[in-house]
Amino acid sequence: MAASMASQAVAKGLRIATSKHILLDKAKCTWLSPRRWLNLQEYQSKKLMQESGVAVQRFYVADTASEALEAAKRLNAKEIVLKAQILAGGRGKGVFDSGLKGGVHLTKDPAVVGELANKMLGFNLTTKQTPKEGVKVKTVMVAEALDITRETYFAILMDRSCNGPVMVGSPQGGMDIEEVAASTPELIFKAADQIKRLYDLFLKVDATQVEVNPLGETPEGQVVCFDAKINFDDNAEFRQKSVFAMDDMTEADPTEMAAAKWDLKYIGLDGNIACFVNGAGLAMATCDIIDLHGGKPANFLDLGGGVKEKQVYEAFKLLTADPKVEAILVNIFGGIVNCAIIANGITKACRELELKVPLVVRLEGTNVHEAKRILTESGLPILAADDLDDAAKKAVAAIKK
């Protein structure tokens, strides 16, 4: 069975934190928010690059229009680029609720920087990757604008199949990395030096990706990283405290934050059947089967590998807090998951939260017989399911009923 658009979004959200608010036509659902990983603003990534000796444009960060004006004057550049700092892409074509069009502007007049910043800061910027209401801009980056004579895409990625990092140049078919600075031997050495510094940064910060788009050559013969996105290994937080301390939480969804506190992975969909699962594969399967039976998946919470009773209770609190949820489907399958702990957490949550929506539970794994006994003897109106197909049918039927 082909994976539905909704299940693909669930899988993607459980793996990475990239674009948000993608329309899922087939399942009539909107992907509201993925599992949150470390997110840095553009200027923060550039700061890390700068600290590692990577060549970037000179820049300042401003929180007020007057600070932006002063920054533009200090740059003393021929041309200045002003960029709104939000975590979503597509800023250049975005629109502010102040009426200003575009979150990226070029000018040769520092005074214009102040005027533009005044229409950016404190206003919402809406792009293809933001909510409909946009995201409030609290910071702008004021940078020196440089001409680019030639450019290419360059990235260092962690490739698990190769058991280490790999380098990628121009996946879109442009110049390959050897051509970036092929005009003179001096530029070849400069390009090689920048690549080495990017590689050192990749290792230093426990990155899973360092993407530069573009890596370009200027008319003055410099090789510069003009824009960058860095993804990090969340498991390295214990040794990358200074990097993770930079995490910009201002745009985080409160539900994502609350879920992460209990080591739960959250995916938001705009359906009406909330799902509590263990593992990305199971999340995809659950989404597909619900869709197959005419239902619409709502928010997902993924336990991953481990489980504690308190986690289950907190998961139910988050699931039931969504007013769109009309039923909850629990689908736990796997050898290491202690189903008895799941069952105790479910019964505790049902009683203390006074669950008002239908609850369908499918459990398979360690202590599953004890778990089923706990649910049966609880006296609670819990619908037991034999398998995922049965569970999805009962959840959809409960809503229709």
Residue 88 amino acid letter? A
Q: pLDDT-derived band of residue 247, with 50, 70 and 90 as boundaries?
A: confident
In the Cβ-directed half-sphere of 217, how many Cα atoms lie within 13 Å? 22
For 254-398, CATH number out of 1.20.1250.10, 3.30.1950.10, 3.40.50.261, 3.40.50.10300 equals 3.40.50.261
More confident residue, 137 or 160: 137
Model confidence over 365-378: pLDDT tens digits? 889 999 999 999 99
240-244, 249-253, 258-262, 393-397, range with the lowest pLDDT: 249-253
Confirm whether residue 57 is marked as ligand binding. Answer: yes
User: Any binding-site annotation on 100?
Assistant: no
Q: pLDDT (tens digit, 9 = 90+) per residue, 1-51?
A: 455 666 555 555 554 433 333 333 333 444 333 334 677 899 999 999 999
Topology agreement, domain 150-245 and domain 254-398: no
Nearest to 215 by CA among 194, 189, 196, 184: 194
Which residues participate in catalysis according to the annotation? 153, 211
Q: Are 96 and 119 in contact (CB under 8 A)?
A: yes
* 85 has pLDDT over 90: yes
Least confident span in 158-172, 267-281, 287-301, 365-379: 158-172
The CATH H-level (homologous superfamily) assignment of domain 58-144 is: ATP-grasp fold, A domain (3.30.1490.20)
Q: CATH topology for 150-245?
A: D-amino Acid Aminotransferase; Chain A, domain 1 (3.30.470)
Q: Residue ranges of the domains in the chain?
A: 58-144, 150-245, 254-398
Structure token pair of residue 355: 């669950």
* 337 annotated binding-site participant: yes
Is 99 known as a binding-site position? no
| 169 assigned ligand-binding residue | no
Is 390 annotated to bind a ligand? Reply is no
335 is in an annotated binding site: yes
- Specify the pLDDT at position 29: 42
Residues 11, 34: Cα–Cα separation, whole Å: 9
Q: Binding residue per annotation — 336? A: yes
Highest mean pLDDT among 101-110, 226-235, 313-322: 101-110
The answer to whether residue 165 scores a pLDDT higher than 80 is yes
Buried b (16+ CB within 10 A) or exposed e, 169-205: bbeeeebebeebbeeeeebeebbeebbebbbebbeeb
Quote the CA–CA distance of 338 and 66 in Å, as a whole number. 58
Q: What average pLDDT does range 343-366 have in this prediction?
A: 94
Q: At what angle do helices 254-261 and 309-320 cross, to 10 degrees?
A: 170
Residues in the chain, how many?
Answer: 401
Residue 180 has pLDDT above 60, yes or no: no
Two tokens at 197? 């510094």
